[in-house]
Amino acid sequence: MTTSHAAKTALGVLGPRNLELGPFTLGDTGQDAGAWQHWRMRTDEDGIVWLLFDRKDASTNTLSEETLAEMDAVLAKLEQDHPRGLVIRSAKRSGFIAGADIAQFRGVTETGPIEATLTRGHAVLDRLDRLPFPTVAVIHGYCLGGGLEVALACDRRIAIDDASFGFPEVLLGLHPGLDGTVRLTHRINPIQAMTMMLTGKTERARRAKSLGLVDAVTQERHVRNAVKAAVTGELKAAKPGWLVSLLNSSPARAILVPRMRRDASKKAPRKHYPAPHALIDLWMQHGGDADAMQKAEIPSFAKLLVTETAQNLVRVFFLRNTLKGLAGGRWNGGHIHVIGAGAMGGDIAAWCAWHGFTVSLADMKPEPLAGAIKRAAELYGKISHGDRRKVRDALDRLIPDLAGEGVASADLIIEAVPENLELKKKVYAGIEPKMKSGAILATNTSSIPLEQLRVGLARPERLVGVHFFNPVSRMQLVEIVSHDGVADDVLADARAFLGRIDRLPAPVKSAPGFLVNRALTPYLLEAMVMLDEGLKKETIDRAAEDFGMPMGPIELADQVGLDICLHVAEMRRGSLERPMPEPPQWLKDKVAKGELGRKTGKGLYDWKDGRAVKPSDAAVPPADTTDRLILPMLDVCVACLREGVVADEEIVDGAMIFATGFAPFRGGPLHYARARGMDDVRATLSRLATKYGPRFQPDPGWDNLK
């Protein structure tokens, strides 16, 4: 029924330039325009009604009570008219239907009104399902949540080859609520259906056809012929096979559900994320009885929606939209030059090339360049959905540049050399005279203040921080770091560039560690202190994971790189007033020996096949462990607000969620502080300061929060 921040890729897909709209043209108001604001209807020469969804004053189609009520009125009229057939499709170029209007979910506290709304929505789609003439959904772009539920209520589904299908509700702490749990599990293999709903994963058009989710995949120019074939019966519907009935049976569910529960618990503990478990319960109890499951779906959805988890995940959806909105505007640059083909620079270059930029990648040696191209090819193979042409074209745009010749023609130069001030300044001195006058010089520094990096530049106003996080292809957030001399158009262009590569900008002012690394440093260092105290690394990580972090601080330190952690920690200790523990000598020794974590195969953990080698169980953490790890992060966020490093709480919460994975179900660090109680957090910090030292002393900024 809904869309979410986890479906960002599908939301970026553009529909065909020329939509086949039957008797319509784009911009045509259609008949009965006065009666309906969001739907347009017209009958073609073959007696087939084309019903276009075109939500008023919106670039994207989403379902609301109003749009569903209008749809109901349209269907009532069609019941009387009894046309030869009905086609439902979107008039929006961006896609079919993105799901529900998520704004309706904010602040919901009572289940009764939600159940009533869902009951009315069920009745509308049941009416569509029961129409006494053929119904066809023609789908381009995204078809998510409630959009897929509308499509499933039609007799046939025709997908344009760019279409994407999914039920991302679980990422909002929900499951489908307009009969999707029933129609999907009774349409396709229920194991695959449950996997789609439990993961929120989207499926491309041809994969959807192989699953039996759609009946045909075609190109836009063949839509009319496909529609005629569907209405006449020439296009046969993909009928559920005997396996669907067998797997929905009670004995099969009894066998399948325990494993589903185990897998769900590993990825989403019930106490933090109840939605996957509610969905499994729903199928376990009613999977063999479609009517009973349909009725039970409504109170189950309503109960989930009023939970703190769902409300916080809805908040995260809007946090993402807020950050995405900061990437608005236009930047017409086409050539990116990246300096440094290491893990970060190479991956930044690969990501930019994938998104259509010509990218020259420079390094002093050929080996890092070769490694970067190899990693790029591996990445493209994973994200291309089997489209070899897209892989080929992206690799063609990624140009190894041993001589650094790309600087002269680049619109944006991204420096990604090691975290060494003098090295970075030396690079700038060599490239700035070669840059175009309007080019931007961006640094991927993770901690060095830009006031230090700009010294010696002829045009310091063209310098901006563009701080990516590792791994580049998965971390959505990028810090846009400003200094007091940067030009406004440079900041705007940097944010617009991130929009073009599907990344979320978080504007921060130059300061040691900026926001994210500054907040993570006490989290990581406190974990090192605990190791010194004798706590096992697995126990420390368990404390953070039990709180809801995607990984514990020990594993995170290895993931980031112990060398980078040590560098940031040492810089912070010398540049901030707050006392910080001295990084332990054994950590310095590990860095000196080259045991840097995941990238070297050994750090605090041993790493195998990209995963930390851990025992299956860990001891229960002692009291205070979680607060010692988590509350200093909150305190730093408050300090960054007080100092003006970040403009507002939404940017803080969004940045920490999308850059560090800070427990999304808690709504962000400052939202969590408010939910827990500001006074309680501050008092706990004071108690920890008395017990463990002044590093826990609460920041004065807590007094400024209302």
Are the C-beta atoms of 142 and 7 separated by less than 8 Å? yes
The amino acid occupying position 613 is: V
Compute φ and ψ for 423, nearest 5 degrees: -65, -45
Burial zone of 188 (CB within 10 Å; 0-12 exposed, 13-18 middle, 19+ buried): buried
CA 131/CA 129 separation, integer angstroms: 6
- Alpha helices, DSSP H, located in 46-105: 65-81
Which of 5, 186, 335, 467 does the annotation list as catalytic? 467
Angle (deg, nearest 10), helices 669-676 and 649-660: 110
DSSP helix/strand/coil, 96: strand
169, HSE (Cβ side, Cα atoms, 13 Å): 33
CA 604/CA 554 separation, integer angstroms: 7
Closest CA to 569 of 613, 601, 521, 536: 521
Q: What is the 8-class DSSP label of residue 695?
A: G
Compute φ and ψ for 578, nearest 5 degrees: -65, 135
CA 124/CA 377 separation, integer angstroms: 47
Closest CA to 283 of 242, 238, 241, 244: 244
Are the C-beta atoms of 660 and 520 separated by less than 8 Å? yes
Q: What is the 8-class DSSP label of residue 646?
A: S
Burial zone of 484 (CB within 10 Å; 0-12 exposed, 13-18 middle, 19+ buried): exposed
Are the C-beta atoms of 448 and 425 separated by less than 8 Å? no
Q: Residue 32, by phi and psi: left (phi above 0), alpha (psi -120 to 50) or beta? A: left
Residue ranges of E strands in 85-127 = 85-90, 95-97
Q: Is 467 a catalytic residue?
A: yes
Closest CA to 161 of 387, 389, 391: 387
Are the C-beta atoms of 372 and 350 separated by less than 8 Å? yes
322, HSE (Cβ side, Cα atoms, 13 Å): 18
How open is the CA angle 692-604-693, to the nearest 5 degrees? 10
Q: Please state, in angstroms and as integers, the Cα–Cα distance from residue 219 to each residue in 35, 112, 205, 227, 358, following that order.
A: 32, 44, 11, 12, 29
Burial zone of 700 (CB within 10 Å; 0-12 exposed, 13-18 middle, 19+ buried): exposed
- Catalytic residue positions, numbered: 467
